[in-house]
Amino acid sequence: MIKIVQKTVSVLVAVGLLTGGFVVPAYAANYNDFDYITSHVSTSMPRKLSVTRPSQDVKTSATAYYITGSSNPDLPLYLNGEKVTDRGISGSFGVYVSLSSGENRFKFTQDDGSAKTVTITQGAGYGASLATTNRVSSMYPSCDVGELAGTEVTLQCIAPAGASVTATVNGQSYTMRQVAAAQSGIPATFKATYTVPAYGKTTDLGKVTYTMNWNGATKTYTSNGKLFAGGETLLVQVTETSSSIFQQGNTDSGFVTTAKAGAIDYVVDSNAGMYKLGMGGWINKDTTKPLTSGRATNKVSNVSFSSTAYGERFIITGTSQPVATTSRSDGQLVVTLHHTTGIGSIPTGDSKLFTGASVTESNGDSTITFTRNPNRTLWGYVVEYKDNVTTIYCKYRPSLSGDSSRPLAGIIVALDAGHGGTDPGALGIMNGLGVDESDITADTAIAVKKRLESLGAQVLLSGSGTSDQKIEFGPRMNPAYEGKADFFLSLHCNSIGTNQNGLKPKGVEIYYYESNAKAFSNTLLNHIVAETGRASRGAKFSNYRVTLNSCAPSVLVEMGFVTNPSELDDMASRRGMFNMANAIGDAIVAYLS
């Protein structure tokens, strides 16, 4: 294990770091393992003069433009003879310029004789050039979806304007209409209406086939998802580790609860992207799958209790896997199992977390109200499903080991490197020509893993960016749930729109949803701000999918802006990643102290 330099006890006492009879490890300024923590780092800025945005001469109707690029950081950079001041430590730069009507020439130079010139032509009639296509894309359904009998669904795809397109489903073909007039070859939307047939039970109609005739050639494409015709009851099952349920049929409406993977309910209504469930809320279709068999009602036959050194399980055996609505306060944990009857009572006699529990039935739902033990901390909880068994898992508070050199021994931390694979995330200043968000998050996550392991923690890492496929939300969260992690952190980089002044926004912000993550968010934010020197943009409440883990404090960390040259260069540097790793390690130690 790489050793770290320890501050003396007297210094630790002076700054209030002596707690619980042992000395908390040195703060980041005293770690001496820089080479070890950052030896893997592959990100590097070009450090030579280039203009990345625009990468070539452009025409625009905008009256201002954010020009970005790279340069030799050891030499001054000039724009049309004037010194550029907004640069990062590796030479990245950004300049927000006003545009006059007509041609605007911008020449960047450095003292080594290098020069780059771009011309931006401004005019009211200029806009983004229109791309063309020669294929069918964005086909319905993009995932497996079920629809109630008699529902009119819209078969839809994108194809070249002027093409002839037909859609075939369940053995029948439908001529599609182009929605709006467009220049030949420009991507256009094509639609056709299909009425879902009636069957006695939910039936798999298969994928939709799209046939396009264009420029004398015929090509056939197949949708990613299948279409299911609902029978007397259309059941759907949650496929993601956490799926948001809303009050209305849009994600801007009020948030109701988080449905966990495996939960089952029946559909009473739907729109283009969401189902209304029998429990009353709306859920995104792409986080579920239709079932051709199963039951919506859950008749409970047995309730039992078990515990380990890490937590407690309340095990409810029944005939289905009901959606649960949950909430907690300082005094209670409330779990409503929808379409569930027959629970009877909950055994809490051997529980350390709860002093009792009551069960009430209303309108076919069962609500369990656990009374919390004021002398024990409920660290987190999660509802899990398997083979018609619903388990309410409640986690004990983890604690530091007492070993000053390995204080996090026994602590499990799940890390997610945001984006990765075919998803680069925000392109930032380099505009796809160099370091992007996924490069930074991948290398930073490994640096954080090394730091946490040096402090004794077990680290579960997902989303490392090594796959050639985009890493979906479910797999990202699985290590945290399956490993019963004590913390979950998803690392990201922030950005703003390309038409805005990227020099203005800067700083760190952290998002949380569950109440057990709020205090940790503030602790983490304070450490990152102190160790990186970046501004604080606050800890903010939001129901991002990666923050919906109720089993442990779960946060999304926006480490800084890749559209800001100084923050991009710092985040992409070995020193910047070292500082971030130290801040996260120290924050977890401080939070558990």
Mean pLDDT of 467-487: 68
Q: Report cis status (omega within 30 of 0) of the bond before 424.
A: no
Amino acid identity, position 584: I
Distance CA 503, CA 238 (A): 42
Q: What is the mean pLDDT of residues 147-168?
A: 96
pLDDT digits 0-9 by tens, 53-108? 999 999 999 999 999 999 999 999 999 999 999 999 999 999 999 999 999 999 99
Range from 17-31, 51-65, 411-425 carrying the lowest mean pLDDT? 17-31
The CATH architecture one would assign to domain 50-122 is Sandwich (2.60)
pLDDT value for 499: 79
Q: What confidence score (pLDDT) does residue 423 get? A: 58
pLDDT at 475: 64
Residues 215-235 pLDDT 10s: 999 999 999 999 999 988 999
Proportion of the chain above pLDDT 70, given as a percent: 91
Q: Is residue 354 very low, low, confident or very high in pLDDT (cuts 50, 70, 90)?
A: very high
Q: Which of 336, 373, 339 is nearest to 354 (CA)?
A: 373
Residue 392's identity, in one-letter code, is: I
Q: Which of 563, 419, 492 is nearest to 53 (CA)?
A: 563
Q: pTM of the predicted model, to two decimals? A: 0.87
Query: 125 falls in which pLDDT band (50, 70, 90)?
Result: confident
Please write the tens of the pLDDT for every residue from 226-274. 999 998 899 999 998 889 999 999 998 988 999 999 999 999 999 999 9
- DSSP letter at 354 equals E
Share of the chain above pLDDT 90, in %: 79
Fold agreement (9-43+400-592, 298-396): no
Alpha carbon of 536 to those of 433, 525, 526: distances in Å? 29, 7, 8
Domain positions in the chain are: 9-43+400-592, 50-122, 145-229, 235-291, 298-396
β-strand pairing of 412-417 with 389-396: unpaired
Q: What span, in angstroms and rounded, lies between the C-alpha atoms of 551 and 516?
A: 9
Query: What is the CATH number that goes with domain 235-291?
Result: 2.30.30.40
| Residue 438 φ/ψ, nearest 5 degrees | -65, -30
Render pLDDT for 514-532 as a digit per residue (tens, 0 to 9): 888 999 999 999 999 999 9
Kindly report the average pLDDT of the chain as a whole number.
90
Please report, for the chain, how many H helices and E strands are present, in that order: 7, 41
Its CATH architecture, for the domain 145-229, is Sandwich (2.60)
Longest CA pairwise span in the chain (Å)? 83
Three-state SS at 550: coil
Which residues lie closer than 8 Å to 517 by C-beta, 6 or more apart?
A: 547, 553, 554, 555
CATH number of 9-43+400-592: 3.40.630.40
Tell me yes or no: is domain 298-396 CATH 3.10.580.10. no
What is the reported pLDDT for 64?
Answer: 95
